[in-house]
Structure 1
């Protein structure tokens, strides 16, 4: 820890399973904070564990991965490092042996290579973990499953994880679905001969939605966004507890460049806006959302870049729809933009909500780093604005804490100063399995979907005219996958081509309908009698084959 502030700590070795005790002892050592930390607000490990136990959380699992500088913006997902040591998934008990995290995965021990682990999820029965890892010597992140006792779910009694899906493409952000399926994001093209979209800035292959059986079969791809989709989680919405995938969608079109929250059905159809697009947002991007209760969700609010994919914590009250939703900033001292954060303020990487018996948020199990959590400060040198940060402060140090959002008090749980402890989740107990609803479909020509609006003049967009709209123009987007040079002219916008125009029932109800190609990102314009655009919808959307997507108006 930098500076002259005092920190009382205890270094305790991780308690391994007896089968690999000799290999792990001496390799892993987590610094478990047991007294006051450098923030001046923090208490001890025992108090934080007691809060978990009181909430019915007997065990948690978390990822410890090497600290790094090359995270990129909030949509990048392939940052890899195994230096100074391998990533692993650990479990920590709040009931017994709480100060001694125990390794679930065996990477970097025995014959197992080192690995980097970027995301994970816990099964509905609480006994299994699916995760995305890149092993040393591999070129991609692949999907694995492991039981929380460290054994292979496909081969009972065998130590170590089961590989369920592998490259030559990256498979990341896995999430358990009902019916023994796993949702994840991948840069794999949906079929041979189709090139994957590339994002407008780094030209990285975009992460898109896919579903696979938990044993690795029946791979399916969803309709694609023109840029990345990241940080998915399974939530339940509505009185019927419909399962939905809540995720971050990179919206980039002309002046729009932000990461907003959207939902889709578990079968990857029915994409809809959730938070951030209707003027309800408080920041540029929202990451790693988690459901608190029926109506509330917690997420990271931050800038698109330079923040190590960390930021402030916000509590989102969903309301009836996105237009009526609002967010409360739980950590008001944390910057929402890309400037460096401050000492004793830092930034939060993720958060899992802890609630009382009535579902009210009481605490957050969170990953937090102190100081200037910002890539310019960490990496050093001259930034884009001409500020020289010298040799750089090095990467931030994310550790696990229990946060009281009312007082701002952080109770430290685990912190290895060589690693990031992130993405903690409860394990060992079952959780409800959501309902998987049916997706509206229509009889459409092969390879198409049906889109439309009941009245194009009823819209959440600004400056929508009350009349005079005669057609809806449908525009398809594309990127460098089509062989276009890296820049798209002075606008720095993605490529676009006119697909066609659909007539509006301008003399009656203002409705329109059109068949559009499947898996093609499109956006719409309202057009007047002279062929001039009245309003430009600045969001891309795409549809699955046979999907029916109708809105009340154009937005």
Structure 2
């Protein structure tokens, strides 16, 4: 291939193929408007360099690919359309996209209204990925961990949608032989780099309790420690620790880890930099990160460091256990109509609780519209900064027992409002949901706790 940028490598489960994203380029752009015609596409190659094959093409950025157990590829792509809401553009939205098999036509499987990152295949066959979820709330936080089936159905929060420390959790990877997930607790206003953590869903899905800090020498950037922006200012901290920092953090302030790959719960490969992380709007050094073997006791062994380029996204070129290939649960008749269904058992089982003595009589169905202009607040569509546009699709009745059941169009980002008998909004969903064609989604209540089961009824 010609000179260019390579990123986000992934080795197939049998160890015979390497996936990567590539963009041909001879020079580094000097601003965000330069060289917009250059895009990343997906490629595969054998470890010995033979059999180079292009998997995607077109005027789209395709990157962050992962092999699926059935032979397909999940990745993120700008094919969904729309622009990022709260920054200066042009920055196109990229979301989960599926390549059913090499040579197939890519298809969007996430209609989330803003960016997603780092899909990974868990040991049970589900996907984990990072989703930026800031409908009608603060944009800095809430880049946290979500899950879905490989066909994009059954989307649900895994960790952190009401967590402000860490600011976000990226670069998820399943730990071999474990239910835990390794990832990077990173900043919002900087590239993905920070402290390596283990997430355990059995311990909860918000706050610090479900996280084990594997690298306590590095505080969570932007939330626990400031990120220098290289221009005399800093981002954060928003939740500084109450006690003194570890000695290593005081010796090497701003040091960070990146792209951890778990070998076990206690041992992993990761990129590491002693140099401080630089936040927006300035760049980090191109040779900032070396490759290390790291253990949970804090020991690091240098494996490789290039004098000119950072060493990133390392993983062994070897076979590994293949997770199960989950079958589709989409209903064909609904899929043919490009629709799906929602069922809610009791709207009054809500979090936060609904006002007392306020029966809910209907749900208003809103579509959150994709941003069609490249810069923030052009035009303003609400009082808050960078608000998303919305339109009303309709209302559906809530039964006397609090339940609701309705069909809805697939492939649209939707939000719901709970309405009282006068048609006034009592509670508004500050997130989005969407349906795959033929998907049937059920919930216990109006944003109920995920650990709750539906109560038995006769």
Pick the TM interval, shorter chain: 0.7 to 0.9
Superposed counterparts of 1:383-462, under 5 Å:
394=285, 397-405=288-296, 407-441=297-331, 443-444=333-334, 446-459=337-350, 461-462=351-352
Give 2:390's match in structure 1, choosing from 491, 496, 512: 496
> Alpha-carbon deviations, 1:411-463, whole Å to 9, x = none?
1111113211111111122422423133253754822221231111223x223
Is 2:196 aligned against 1:303?
Answer: no
> Alpha-carbon deviations, 1:176-198, whole Å to 9, x = none?
11222111111124xxxxxx121
- Residue 394 of structure 1 deviates from its aligned partner by 4.4
Q: Is the 8 A contact 1:398 1:420 kept in 2?
A: yes
Q: Is the 8 A contact 2:9 2:314 kept in 1?
A: no
SS in 1 for 2:189: coil
CA RMSD of aligned residues (A): 2.5
> Alpha-carbon deviations, 1:388-417, whole Å to 9, x = none?
xxxxx8457111111122x32211111113
Aligned residue in 2 for 1:314: 197
Q: After the TM superposition, which of the residue ranges 262-271 and 324-333 deviates more from structure 2?
A: 324-333
Alpha-carbon distance change, 139 to 395 in structure 1, aligned in 2, over 3 angstroms = closer
Aligned residue in 2 for 1:150: 49
Give 1:249's match in structure 2, choosing from 122, 131, 138: 131
Aligned residue in 1 for 2:159: 275
- Residue 174 of structure 1 deviates from its aligned partner by 1.0
Alpha-carbon distance change, 335 to 490 in structure 1, aligned in 2, over 3 angstroms = farther
- Residue 228 of structure 1 deviates from its aligned partner by 0.9
Aligned residue in 1 for 2:57: 166
Q: Is the 8 A contact 2:286 2:309 kept in 1?
A: no
Alpha-carbon distance change, 187 to 261 in structure 1, aligned in 2, over 3 angstroms = same
SS in 1 for 2:372: helix
Is 2:259 aligned against 1:353?
Answer: no
The normalised TM-score by structure 2 is: 0.81
> Alpha-carbon deviations, 1:109-129, whole Å to 9, x = none?
xxx411201212111101111
Superposed counterparts of 1:156-305, under 5 Å:
161-189=52-80, 196-202=81-87, 203=89, 204-236=91-123, 241=124, 243-257=125-139, 258-279=142-163, 282-292=165-175, 293-305=177-189
Alpha-carbon distance change, 267 to 373 in structure 1, aligned in 2, over 3 angstroms = same
Is 2:220 aligned against 1:329?
Answer: no
Matched residues in 2 for 1:218 and 1:544: separation? 17
Stretches of 4+ moved more than 4 A in 1? Answer: 376-379, 393-396
Query: Which ranges of structure 2 fall in alignment gaps of 5 or more residues?
Result: 27-36, 229-248, 448-458
Which protein is richer in strand relative to its size?
1
Larger radius of gyration: 1
Aligned residue in 1 for 2:241: none
Q: Is the 8 A contact 1:442 1:547 kept in 2?
A: no
Matched residues in 2 for 1:255 and 1:395: separation? 34
Q: Is the 8 A contact 1:442 1:450 kept in 2?
A: no
Matched residues in 1 for 2:404 and 2:373: separation? 30
Alpha-carbon distance change, 276 to 146 in structure 1, aligned in 2, over 3 angstroms = same
Alpha-carbon distance change, 220 to 376 in structure 1, aligned in 2, over 3 angstroms = closer
Alpha-carbon distance change, 186 to 149 in structure 1, aligned in 2, over 3 angstroms = same
Give 1:344's match in structure 2, choosing from 241, 247, 252: 252
Aligned residue in 2 for 1:3: none
- Residue 487 of structure 1 deviates from its aligned partner by 3.5
- Residue 377 of structure 1 deviates from its aligned partner by 9.5
Q: Is the 8 A contact 1:223 1:518 kept in 2?
A: no
- Residue 367 of structure 1 deviates from its aligned partner by 0.8
Is 2:257 aligned against 1:363?
Answer: no
Q: Is the 8 A contact 2:93 2:114 kept in 1?
A: yes
Matched residues in 1 for 2:57 and 2:332: separation? 34
- Residue 340 of structure 1 deviates from its aligned partner by 2.8
SS in 2 for 1:451: strand
Alpha-carbon distance change, 363 to 223 in structure 1, aligned in 2, over 3 angstroms = closer
> Alpha-carbon deviations, 1:72-106, whole Å to 9, x = none?
xxxxxxxxxxxxxxxxxxxxxxxxxxxxxxxxxxx
Superposed counterparts of 1:20-39, under 5 Å:
none
Aligned residue in 1 for 2:29: none
Query: Which ranges of structure 1 fall in alignment gaps of 5 or more residues?
Result: 1-111, 153-160, 190-195, 356-360, 380-392
The normalised TM-score by structure 1 is: 0.67
Alpha-carbon distance change, 371 to 426 in structure 1, aligned in 2, over 3 angstroms = same
- Residue 234 of structure 1 deviates from its aligned partner by 0.7
Matched residues in 2 for 1:535 and 1:514: separation? 19
Q: Is the 8 A contact 1:126 1:431 kept in 2?
A: no
Alpha-carbon distance change, 482 to 527 in structure 1, aligned in 2, over 3 angstroms = farther
Matched residues in 1 for 2:295 and 2:320: separation? 25
